Amino acid sequence: MKHSIIFSMLSVLLMSCTSPKAESQEISSTKKSNIKMDTNGLDTATFGGGCFWCVEAVYQQLKGVVSVASGYSGGQRENPSYEQVCSGATGHAEVVQIVFDPKVISFDELLEVFWTVHDPTTLNRQGADIGTQYRSVVFYNSEQQHLTAQMYKDKLNKEGAFPSPVVTEISPLTKFYKAEGYHQNYYNENENQPYCSLVIKPKIEKFQKVFKSKMK
């Protein structure tokens, strides 16, 4: 109910992930990254669940997560800018790339959080954020991640976990482009922004109640 009220307010205000830009900050060039298993036993997971500010803020709080970077994946354009991705013409999705310690938190657990903190049944949309860049997607970096994500998705649909079918895309990770500097650690540095207080904060509060035992 709380989320319905919030999203109704957002519709009225025409508020979205693209609106509260940090105008005074320079946009740094994006960087390409193909990350695989770390030599220290770390692994990576790459998820898209709407605005990357929201997803980043959630995963930063999990035990076993070493770092979270916001960026772009799944499109055709090399080194895309935020504006280009927001146009919908690049094919990229807003994603986060999570570096985690599988000895502390598993890929399965990261997926559990993923399907809980966004709506995986809406195609190319999360709340007031509409476009292919906001699609629900898992970009896997190994066949094991592929099988795990697909099995999890199939189970959710078979059990009718959601009122509508899960439409999450499951695709191989080819390239990850780190987003401009002002997108990194966005919620922690902009908590008073309207989008942060009205959209991200309620999502974090819901996450904290459900996954209290997994928080740092």
51 included as an active-site residue: yes
Distance CA 199, CA 139 (A): 25
Non-local CB neighbours of 73 within 8 Å, separated by 6+ positions: 46, 48, 92, 93, 95, 137, 139, 173, 174, 175, 176, 177
The total number of residues shown for the chain amounts to 216
Distances from the Cα of 190 to the Cαs of 17, 20, 32, 107, in angstroms? 13, 10, 26, 29
Q: Exactly one of 17, 51, 54, 196 is catalytic; which is it?
A: 51
Distance CA 6, CA 202 (A): 9
User: Residue 173: how many CA atoms within 13 Å on its side-chain side?
Assistant: 27
Distance CA 121, CA 70 (A): 22
Residue 209 buriedness (CB in 10 A; 0-12 / 13-18 / 19+) = exposed
Q: Judge whether 138 and 169 are in contact, CB under 8 Å.
A: yes
Active site residues: 51
